[in-house]
Amino acid sequence: MKKFGIFLNPHNAEKEKIFNLLKDLHFKYHLNLISLCKKDVILPDFISKNCDASPDIILVFGGDGTILRAKSFSIKYNAPMLGINTGNLGFLSEIAPDELGKSIEYLLNGKYKVQSRMMLKVYVKRDKEKIPLDDALNDVVIYKGVTPKLIDISLYSNGRSVVETRCDGLILSTPTGSTAYSLSAGGPILSPIMDAIVAAPLNPHVLTVRPMVFSSKDVLSVKVNPQSLIQIDGQNSFELKNGDKLFATASEKRVNFVKLGNRTFFQILRKKLHMGKK
């Protein structure tokens, strides 16, 4: 492991502290640091702006939103991400900033594991046109947008009807996203190394309509009336029009995360979500 990609939110309040930490580690371990930030972001000289250099690993400084934005670089370079939490909850992050020095030693000595996580492939069929959207690491959210009324949603699995309901929207979540918006909507917690899809309705008018778990091999499709909005991993809004049909299934692409130490997913649940605490 020789080349470390650096990805952070340029508006991060801890930016100067991050740069000072990276500077110390750069000189101590002779690290080759490569910027994955936008070209207009001002970075210290010890971080290379060579866009042609492919990192072996990507150090992501920020919260969960920053990690979701960094996924495209992880896929592009086939490089696992190590999340360093400088945000709030930081559920997708592996370490805190004060643990980075020791973590670099582990990485340089090959003392780490790589955890692969599924994503959702998402596209919309409009008349005879197929419109591909970004793959989702967390979730795809169909939301009623600015309309004050409930929307009609029809959910299908492999072309067969599952449920029709009136609600505020629908979340299609990966196991990684099962601890995010889907959990707030009453969805189940899934281990992030599973391959499955959670469909969680938002405030359904009929209380018997509950979240459901589908095989990742299933092709889920959704029809909505009236028009509504789509968000993928909290961004990239797309407007669904009447007659459109959204499709989601497991993507061929996957995102890899660096795992250090023996801390389990359930330990993270207990620590960050206070699961089981009285």
Q: Is 209 exposed, middle or buried (0-12, 13-18, 19+ CB in 10 A)?
A: middle
Higher-confidence residue of 263 and 112: namely 112
pLDDT band with cut points at 50, 70 and 90 for residue 276: confident
Whether the CB-CB separation of 247 and 197 falls below 8 Å is answered with: no
Looking at the fold, whether 101 and 166 belong to one and the same domain comes out as no
Give the C-alpha distances (Å, rounded to integers) separating 73 from 68, 69, 215. Answer: 10, 9, 27
Looking at the fold, whether 208 and 157 belong to one and the same domain comes out as yes
Q: What is the pLDDT of residue 271?
A: 84
Q: What is the pLDDT of residue 37?
A: 74
Looking at the fold, whether 248 and 125 belong to one and the same domain comes out as yes
Q: Would you call 134 a catalytic residue per the annotation? A: no
Q: What is the pLDDT of residue 177?
A: 97
| Mean pLDDT across 128-137 | 95
Looking at the fold, whether 194 and 129 belong to one and the same domain comes out as yes
| Residue 194 domain flag | yes
pTM exceeds cut of 0.85: yes
| Mean pLDDT across 148-176 | 96
Residue 210 three-state SS: coil
Instruction: Order the strands of the 235-240 sheet from edge to edge.
Output: 212-215, 196-202, 169-173, 139-143, 228-232, 235-240
Helix intervals (H) in 156-246: 181-184
| Residue 171 domain flag | yes
Q: What is the pLDDT of residue 40?
A: 62
| Residue 42 domain flag | yes
How many angstroms separate the CA atoms of 246 and 120, rounded? 12
**Domain CATH number, residue 152:** 2.60.200.30
| Residue 277 domain flag | no
Q: What is the pLDDT of residue 60?
A: 95
Looking at the fold, whether 152 and 237 belong to one and the same domain comes out as yes
Looking at the fold, whether 181 and 244 belong to one and the same domain comes out as yes
| Residue 207 domain flag | yes
| Mean pLDDT across 186-206 | 96
Which range is least confidently modeled, 50-59, 91-100, 129-138, 248-257? 50-59
Q: What is the pLDDT of residue 103?
A: 94
Looking at the fold, whether 99 and 131 belong to one and the same domain comes out as no
Parallel, antiparallel, or unpaired: how do β-strands 113-126 and 129-132 relate? antiparallel
Q: What is the pLDDT of residue 39?
A: 67
Looking at the fold, whether 132 and 248 belong to one and the same domain comes out as yes
- From the list 1, 174, 192, the residue with the least C-alpha distance to 79 is 1
Give the C-alpha distances (Å, rounded to integers) separating 231 from 122, 147, 188, 236, 258. Answer: 11, 16, 20, 6, 27
Looking at the fold, whether 267 and 162 belong to one and the same domain comes out as no
Average pLDDT over the chain, rounded to an integer = 92
How many angstroms separate the CA atoms of 66 and 7, rounded? 8
| Residue 278 domain flag | no
Our count of domains for the chain comes to 2
Count of alpha carbons within 13 Å of 151, Cβ hemisphere only?
A: 25
Parallel, antiparallel, or unpaired: how do β-strands 57-62 and 81-85 relate? parallel
| Mean pLDDT across 158-173 | 97
pLDDT tens digits along 33-86: 999 877 667 788 898 887 667 899 999 999 999 999 999 999 999 999 999 998
Q: What is the pLDDT of residue 51?
A: 67
pLDDT tens digits along 4-39: 999 998 788 888 999 999 999 999 999 999 998 776
Looking at the fold, whether 141 and 225 belong to one and the same domain comes out as yes
- Exposure string of 104-133, with b = 16+ CB inside 10 Å and e = fewer, is bebbeeeebeeeebbbbbbebeeeeeeeeb
Looking at the fold, whether 93 and 199 belong to one and the same domain comes out as no
Domain span including residue 101? 3-112+260-272
| Residue 214 domain flag | yes
**Domain CATH number, residue 104:** 3.40.50.10330
pLDDT band with cut points at 50, 70 and 90 for residue 1: low
Whether the CB-CB separation of 144 and 228 falls below 8 Å is answered with: yes
Q: Of 45, 52, 64, 233, which residue is the catalytic one?
A: 64
Whether the CB-CB separation of 171 and 183 falls below 8 Å is answered with: no
| Residue 218 domain flag | yes
E strands, the chain, are 3-8, 32-35, 47-48, 57-62, 81-85, 113-126, 129-132, 139-143, 151-157, 160-167, 169-173, 196-202, 212-215, 220-225, 228-232, 235-240, 245-259
Helix intervals (H) in the chain: 15-29, 64-77, 100-108, 181-184, 265-272
